[in-house]
Amino acid sequence: MWIHGWTGDHGVSGKFSYLTASLVSKDLRLPLLSIPSPMGNDMPSEISGMPDLLLLLFGHIDLLLFDRGFYSRDLIMMLNEWKMNYLIFVPKNPQVKDEFAHMYQTERKVMLHGFSIYRNDRKVSDSVYLAFLKQIFDHRTEEYYDWCFATNIPDLDHIIARYKFRWRIETMFRVQDECRIKTKSKDIRVRYFLFAYEQLIESIWYLFYHEEVSFKKFLTEMSSVCSTLVEKEERRRTTHS
């Protein structure tokens, strides 16, 4: 139940998935909570417990940022009930593509989108702002993009700058992959422990050493120190045995 089907590329037909909440800002990126995500998961229900834990830690959440995989009416309705500010990247479905097709270059606009879902055999309605930004230049890639966001804060002047903080999470995972611990185990307890351990190692490097050494050099030096400590302990035990 924990292995999600994959494409088969490089011989990989399944992957484990983890839901991670991270703190991101102009100057910081840090994983805070991670939980394993099973097949057929109810994504809004998985997310529902995280804000309460984060509020206990920080007392306030300024803005929740979500990737396109989290765009759903159930999640939007839940976030509206919480009255928390959010930005969700919207996939380019046919309706979104059609809207962009009728916009001129660099045009920006906000639309109030109403929707309904069924809960407990009862129809309930809600709404969300959809912010459309046509052909926005990204200095990181030097390319132009059409972006659409679902949000309850339709402030077009700050949407892109604030959402770009979330890209720091992608950087965090790319770095974490450099210390991926290889195993053939399919036990979720083993996989979850190793994933959390990798996050811990990457976080220690980022918080205390990233301005001094590269992550690979940090891993090499840490491995060397750990090996030395183990050898000293083995010699001590041999001496006293």
> For 17-68, how does the pLDDT look when each residue is reduced to its tens digit (9 = 90+)?
999 999 998 888 999 999 999 998 888 888 988 888 888 888 889 999 999 8
Q: Give phi and psi for 72, each to the nearest 5.
A: -155, 155
| pLDDT tens for each residue of 166-191 | 888 888 999 999 998 889 999 999 99
| Sequence-ordered alpha helix ranges (H) in 87-214 | 94-101, 159-163, 167-176, 188-208
Contact 151, 129 (CB under 8 A): yes
- CA dist., res. 6 & res. 12, Å (int): 7
Highest average pLDDT, of 3-7, 158-162, 213-217, comes from: 213-217
Total residues found in the chain within this entry: 241
- CA dist., res. 208 & res. 147, Å (int): 35
Tokens linked to 164: 């770009």
Three-class SS state of 1? coil
In this prediction, residues 82-100 reach a mean pLDDT of: 93
> Can you give the pLDDT at residue 36?
94
Q: What is the mean pLDDT of the chain?
A: 90
